[in-house]
Structure 1
Amino acid sequence: MKTTHPLTDVRRWGVAVAIAAIALPLSGCLSLMIPSEPTELPTSHPSTEDPFDDSDDLDDDSDALDTSDGGTLSFAEGADLDSTDFVEWGDGFMMDSDWEVSKPDDGDGGWEYKQVNGDCTAGFWQGMLGDVGTQDDRDATAEVLALILDATAAEVVDYTEVGKFSYQIPDSPGVDHLNIYGETDTGNWLIAARAFATPNSALYIDINCATSSAVDVAEEVFSKNPIVVW
């Protein structure tokens, strides 16, 4: 990594966090999908302004995007989902000539696309959570990122940005998520996740680029691959 942080000396895969009961399919897939070296948090936010949200305030559950074609699913609105709702990625890269499958569906909720020019990969995962207790979607999302990054939610949250996944259809940024950015000696990465406490579901994506900005590429990835609830 190009940056260091006190968390680099902390290894917490077994840490007792509020959703430590996260289902085995999730914990079993993480190592297959996350960037090769994501265990060190950057010392600051990316210098590039976050293109996915108008504010860094994690408490902002604004309905400003209610007029978008796909609607909105803020962290607060996640409580309106039903326990029987099914949440999944809409595969917007299936027919995209700029992306090709680099890792097919592994049967455990994970797959990966790669740019045809070979610069960036986008790994997707979807699956079920364990018992999240009384946590809301935002807190559960922070826990998912913490599990991926081998840290605690309290440590991770200081380095996250609020972003938007598309909702139901492409190019409709209405689903709140948390993302975090980092750099390695060979490139840069961005991980974005959203947990849905009521239906006990979670989705995340990791983007790794050698030369391009993972933040910029994420804008395309998030736009073309919506979160679908049915």
Structure 2
Amino acid sequence: MNDRNKARVLFFSYLAVLIATENVYSFMLFNSFLAYAALEISYLLPLFRPKSKGEWPASLLVYLLFLLMSPNVFYIVTDLIHLNFFSFRYTAGLVVREWWNFSLLVTGVLLAIFYYVTMVRVIRNLLAGSRWSGIILFLFVILQSVGIFIGRFLRFHSVHLFTEPFALLREFLNAITRDALIFISLITVLQLLIIWIFATTPKENAHE
């Protein structure tokens, strides 16, 4: 089974479990859908690589849509903060409900990391042969971090870039502080670490 089909099976299985069971992480339904949608859009990128001037408008639209949706993938990793819904006082005894919800949330995060790694591999294949591939991928990672900051702390969604672009930009510029830059840097490092550990291809390893 290739990675795309594996992602599909895992996505629909995870949603089915969330819908069919009692849990406090119902928001993972929407977040997981956005992450999976971004992955599926990434698979369209090679199909919309422009080969003539007439193809540029459609290509730009798809690539822009992907850039707007893509932060939703790694955003789920930050959902780990919602483990604070439970006290996890393990010294007082085992509470199965806590660990069931723990398992559900961590599963969603692991799936998001899988989507992210798969998405990065698609981008690397798209940029194969370009002398600027490393720089473009690094800029992409930084944009992910900025998008995650905007979504997590300013509570804007991707659609607000179309409906409230100036308000979003104003809020973002006002929110740029030392702590904001530290957060963006930390998320960037986490992404680069995951790319280095999981998204390195066997061919790249062979050159080392």
Indicate the TM-score class for this superposition, using the shorter chain for normalisation. under 0.3
- Comparing both structures, which one devotes a greater share of its residues to strand? 1
- Bigger relative contact order, structure 1 or 2, given CA contacts below 8 A and separation 6+? 1
Q: Relative to total residues, which structure has the larger helix share, 1 or 2?
A: 2
Larger radius of gyration: 2
